[in-house]
Structures are given as structure tokens and as C-alpha cells.
Structure 1
Amino acid sequence: MTIERTIASAFQMDEETWARHANPWSVWTRNTVLPLLILAFWSRVWLGLWSLLPIAVAGIWTWINPRLFVRPESTENWASKAVLGERVWLNRKAVPVPGRHRRAPKILSACSGIGMLSVIWGVYALEVWPPLFGAAVVYLSKLWFLDRMVWLYEDMKDMAPEYRSWLYTEES
């Protein structure tokens, strides 16, 4: 099982949850997760044990975000296709992706992971610059990854009937 599949399983991402997460509001508000987690863990300085409350709230937001929004009226947009591409990427063992799509997502995920190490270290050490730098690396890597997922989805949408069914417009 890939790390991405493990994360999706931990978040209990079923068909309905994926459909809701394809809502652009879900995709864009997902960008609030990292700053909320950083502030929540940093709040231990000001709140002591009460910091567990904002940490719990940030964790709940992380879990509820893909479920909060309704299915989009159309998946013919960049944000929705990024989510559809993530689903294709998760399914790459069953339906192999073309070679040109295999390297970049792995490199971008590794870069994001390195950025997270900087975030974690900075929050632990209460240093400002490592989390800021790390968050910038995480966001750059993740948004680039999402852009690659749009490309992957566009190339793969006709490779499996299921993939094609995820694409719909208001008129469909």
C-alpha cells in the first residue's frame, strides 16, 4: 500500500467524500489546514495544556474539510480535476499511469515532506523562520503536485470508465 493510499484510508475517503472533496471550495479551504496546525501547536506557549483544544479543532477541521462541502455542480475546473487526478494517482497500482507522470509526483511529495520537517522543527524549537520557509516549500510543492494531477487526470480520463464518470458539467 502506498503512503497516499494509507493517508486516504486514515481519512476514510469513500466515493461520497471524494465527490464532495472535488468541490473547489474544499480544495481551496484545505490550504488553511497547515497554518491552523502551526498556530494550534504553537499555542502551547500561550495556553499550556489548553493548547490541546485548538490542536483538536485543527485536527477536526483537517478531517471534516473534505466532507463539509456539497458535490460540485461541475468538475470541469482546475481544482476538481486536481482531486480527480489524485484519485487516479492513488489507483496507479490497478491502472498504471504513463511513465511521464511517475517521477514528478514522487519528487514533489518528497519536497513537501522536507518542508514539513522544517515546519515541525520550527514549531518544536519555537523558531519563526523554519515554519515559514517549510510552509512555503509545502505549499509550492503541493500546488505544483495538484497541477500535475490535473495533467494526469486529463491524460488518464479515458483509460477507465470510472475515471470518465467523475467528469461532469451542470448540464450532465
Structure 2
Amino acid sequence: MTSLDQLTNLFHMTDQVWSRHANPWSVWTRYGALPLLIGAIWSRVWWGWFALLPTLLVILWIWLNPRMFPKPKTTRQWASKAVIGERIWLNQKQVPIPRHHRPVIAVTNTVNAIGFGICLWGLWSLHPYLTLMGLSWVILGKTWFLDRMVWLCDEMSDRCPQYQEWLY
């Protein structure tokens, strides 16, 4: 089992959860979760161990978020297609994705990973510029990744009947 499979299992993303996560409100409110998490972790400077409470609350929100919103009326908008594309990407063992997407996805994930590392170092050392720079890279990498997932969704929905059903 890959680390990606383990992460998917941790979030317990069922078909129903995926369909709710395709709601644009779920996608856009998740964007705010990382800055909130960083603020909660940074609050250890003022609150000490009590900073665990807001940190755990944000982590709970990240887990609850895909379950909180209703299934969208349509999945034909950018945010919904990004979620569907992510689902297609995760399903690539069963239905291979076109090769031309792989290098770009690898680059977006690399940008995200580098940003995450910089952000963690900034949080550890309490260096605000490193933290914000890392956060910027994570958001850039994630947004670029999601944009590629929209492209993947558009391309793959015509090739697989199951994926076509996810678009309505």
C-alpha cells in the first residue's frame, strides 16, 4: 500500500464523501485550512501547550470538511472538476491516466513538497518570512495541481463511463 493509499484510507473517502467534497464550498473553504493550521501552530508562542486545542480543531475541520457540504447541483464548475480529477488521479491503477499529465503532476507535487518543507522549517524556527514563503509555495503547488486535475477530468470523462457519471 502506497502512502497515497494510506492517506486516502485515513480520510475514508467513500463515494458519498467524494460527491460532497465536489461542492465548491468544500474546495474553497479547505484553502483556508492551511493558513488557519499555521496560525494555530504558531500560537504556541503565546499559548504554549494550549495551542494544541486550535491545532486539533483545524485538523478536525480538514477531516470534516469533505463531509460538511451537500452534494453540488452541478459538477461542471472548476472546483468540482478539480475534485473529480483528483479522484481520477487516485484511480490511475485501475484506469491509467495519459502520460502527458504525469510530469506536470510530479512538478506540482514537488513544488508543494518544497513549500511544505520550507513552511515547516519556518514554523519550527519561528521565522515568519520562511513560513509565509513556504505557505505561498504550497498554495501555488496545490492550485496548479488542482488546475491540472480539471484538465485530467475534462480529458478522462470522455474515456470512461464511470467518470462521465461524476459529471452532471
TM superposition score normalised by structure 1: 0.94
Residue 36 of structure 1 deviates from its aligned partner by: 1.0
Matched, 1:162 2:168: no
Q: After superposition, give the CA deviation of every residue in 1:19-41 in whole Å (9 maximum; x if it has no partner).
A: 00000000011101111110111
Summarize the alignment of residues 52-91 of structure 1 with structure 2, pairs less than 5 Å apart.
52-91=52-91
Q: After superposition, give the CA deviation of every residue in 1:106-136 in whole Å (9 maximum; x if it has no partner).
A: 1111110110001111111111011100011
The residue that corresponds to 2:140 in the other structure is 140
Q: Percent same amino acid among aligned pairs?
A: 49
Residue 156 of structure 1 deviates from its aligned partner by: 0.4
TM superposition score normalised by structure 2: 0.97
Structure 1: distance between partners of 2:104 and 2:6: 20
Structure 2: distance between partners of 1:27 and 1:66: 8
Unaligned runs of 5+ in 2: none
The residue that corresponds to 2:104 in the other structure is 104
RMSD over aligned Cα, in angstroms? 1.0
Q: Which moved more, 1:156-165 or 1:121-130?
A: 156-165
The residue that corresponds to 2:36 in the other structure is 36
Residue 4 of structure 1 deviates from its aligned partner by: 3.0
Structure 1: distance between partners of 2:152 and 2:114: 24
**1:157 corresponds to which letter in structure 2?**
S
Residue 52 of structure 1 deviates from its aligned partner by: 1.1
Task: Return structure 1 stretches of 4+ with deviation > 2 angstroms.
Answer: 1-6
Q: After superposition, give the CA deviation of every residue in 1:45-66 in whole Å (9 maximum; x if it has no partner).
A: 1111111111111111110111
Structure 1: distance between partners of 2:127 and 2:85: 36
Residue 2 of structure 1 deviates from its aligned partner by: 4.0
Structure 2: distance between partners of 1:67 and 1:45: 32
Unaligned runs of 5+ in 1: none
Residue 14 of structure 1 deviates from its aligned partner by: 0.6
